[in-house]
A and B are shown apart, each in its own frame.
Chain A
Amino acid sequence: MRSRTYQNSYAGLVALSNQPTAWVWAAIGILVLALMPAYFGSFGLNMLTAIFVASIGILGLNLLSGVAGQISLGHAGFLLIGAYSQAILTTDYKVPTLIAIFLSGLVAAIASLVVGIPSLRLKGLYLAITTLAFTFIVRHVVLFAEGLTRGSAGMPVDALSIFGFSFKSDVRFYYAALALLLLFIIITLNLMRSRIGRAWLALRDHDIAARAMGIDLMRYKLLAFMVSAFYTGVAGAMVALQTRFINVDTFSILISIEALAMIIVGGMGRIHGAILGTALIIFLPELLSLGFNAAGDNFKNLMADRIYEVKGLMYGVVILLFLRLEPEGMAGIWRKSKRFWVQWPLSQ
């Protein structure tokens, strides 16, 4: 039977992937995704793009919650900051769109220090509470700083263009989102195999032991929070570029809950889990509306009138079910089914 955990050298332990076939599968996966625009219409393509964009943010949240074990309820705030930074930087300051994307991430990362420094000193759930407060503060600041953000009127956003090459059409933006997601997956993989990623795992699993090993808890928690805010800020900038118009109402507190549902469904601390979870949670309302449409007019109207509540109910139920029945999420289901077939006649 194959064994993947035994390695002869240190280089083997920290390699990006511990088996050569992974590269083949990754290449096939990217090829399939690259061919998607030929088969999907505009609706399907936009949905896939939304999944890619959301996945970037979820990868960041996953680093914070799944890998470093800190709860944040304020990622809607960072998404908001990212989106508004993108809009303000490109319209008011004429920063090139591609650079603005990364600057937006940086702005979110700097904003995260405001919440991170006071709350990460303490053990326990202070971060969850202060990040929640943070979301409220950010929303109010955006609504009241009308000179900068145009208040509740919202802001139009320029399309993505790199050196004059415009990414206005759905297909082109799809490729841009895919490329950015791949970039962030590679960054995440590299973070996870380096000292930083292992320090995060250590402080999640046993903070006292981690400290005894010489890991500065406060510093690494803050780093995790900042990196996570950076990812989310970039995702926010991409959301702004995809929708081309932003408004405070797009970034409600439900987004933070939705994001947590995504990482729980996907499986905590796993990269492929984060992407699977995002895809499932984004597809779920569509499946649900298909089911409701089939169930008759009463349900169809309910879905139309109360979409916000139906979605909330669905996220809540999904969170509760996965926590009770499959705490490892989709990544766990994937691992178990793989083991089942690998060991097949002997599997239990």
Chain B
Amino acid sequence: MNYFMNLVMSGLVIGTLYGMVAMGFAIIYRATGMVNFAQGEVMMLIAYMSYTFATIPGMTFIPLLACVLTASIVLGLLIEWAFIRPMLGESMFSRVMVTIGLAVVIRSTVILIWGVDPTAFPRPFGNAVIRFGEMALYPGQIFALVSLAVLSLAMWLFFRRSRVGIAMRATSNNETIALLMGINVKRISAIAWALSAVFAAFSGLAFCLMFSLEPEISQMGLRGFPATILGGLDSVVGGAFGGLVIGVVENLAGGYLGRGLKEIAGFVLIIVVLMIKPYGLFGQREIERV
């Protein structure tokens, strides 16, 4: 039982990372109808940038978080302005290909600048294990769990209550009508990219606090896809839930069925999910009219 609980717990922790990545995918899909294949690479770039910030002498956690968030918002806006906006009105194929091109460029550039060797990331909360009764968690794991909880609550409120969130839902529903209703569609797309970079920042930081700074961070982008599909491509909060489920499933598969299965359990799961529930658990069913 203890073994089982341990697997579930560490699965949930990994799942928070998938969840945050999935939320990043979903928000861009929601606002612009495209999938950002560079999400993992943006996460990697922000993680390396935060390492540079964190090694500034005298840097504590709160200023670090502020610096990283500002940098990520600027980065998101920059990517949207330089690469995504010029492709507006092009076919979906070209728009998605731009993000794929961007992904390789970012990954290669980061490795060329910072190198491939894993580096220890500074631990602002120390390395002591914090105990909650039976469970023991590292500070980095608590940071990941808290970030996911805060982010999903914030997103839920954002889409329900805020003007921009409602405008974003309207845009994803029908871009032309949203435009006619006086919504600034370009601004919505820019906000979505900035928000997705913020998700990338939180997930990148959480990854570094739990593990170390390494190029494998960019793999998290791919590993987050199963969570996105499970939650529904267009459901931001569903992505967070999907992430937790995928994390636990992967860990259980790895723990009980064999080590090799851990890496592919999520991918096998989405192929099954697509067969029985194609739009995910929380996704909106698209009804096609012919």
Question: What residues make up the interface of A, taking CB atoms closer than 8 Å to B?
Answer: 65, 69, 71, 73, 114-115, 117-119, 121-126, 128-130, 132-134, 136-137, 140, 143-144, 208, 211-212, 254, 257, 260-261, 264, 268, 302, 306, 309-310, 312-313, 315-317, 319-320, 323-324, 327
Contact = CB atoms under 8 A, between A and B. Distances in A.
21 contacts: A71-B96, A73-B37, A118-B271, A118-B275, A124-B233, A125-B96, A128-B35, A130-B270, A130-B274, A133-B222, A133-B225, A133-B226, A133-B270, A133-B271, A137-B268, A313-B108, A315-B101, A316-B103, A319-B98, A319-B100, A320-B98
B93 A65 contact: yes
B108 A137 contact: no
B101 A319 contact: yes
Given A125-B96, A132-B222, A140 B264 contact: yes
Q: Name the residue in A133, A254, A317, A319 with the highest tally of chain B Cβ atoms < 10 Å from its Cβ.
A: A133
Contact of A316 (B108, B233, B279, B290): B108
B220 to A, nearest CB: 13
B290 A212 contact: yes
B255 interface: no
Interface string B99-116: 011111101110110000
Contact of B267 (A65, A137, A144, A208): A137
B246 to A, nearest CB: 12
B134 interface: no
Contact of A257 (B90, B104, B112): B104
A312 B102 contact: no
Given A119-B274, A320-B98, A136 B86 contact: no
A317 B267 CA distance: 29
Q: Name the residue in B100, B109, B229, B278 with the highest tally of chain A Cβ atoms < 10 Å from its Cβ.
A: B100
Contacts of B57: none
A261 B105 CA distance: 13
Contacts of B83: 320
Contacts of A208: 288-290
A144 B258 CA distance: 11
B235 to A, nearest CB: 14
A260 B35 contact: no
B104 A316 contact: yes
Interface string B243-265: 00000000000000000100110
B87 interface: yes
B167 to A, nearest CB: 22
B45 to A, nearest CB: 13
Q: Name the residue in B34, B109, B274 with the highest tally of chain A Cβ atoms < 10 Å from its Cβ.
A: B274
B97 interface: yes
Contacts of A123: 286, 288
A130 B230 CA distance: 12
Contact of A125 (B34, B105, B271, B279): B34
A305 to B, nearest CB: 10
B162 interface: no
A309 B229 contact: no
Contacts of A211: 290
B264 A320 contact: no
B260 A140 contact: yes
B267 A136 contact: yes
A315 B260 contact: no
B35 A73 contact: no
B98 A125 contact: no
Contacts of B112: 302, 306, 309-310, 313
Nearest to B275: A118
B267 A320 contact: no
B111 A306 contact: yes
B244 to A, nearest CB: 19
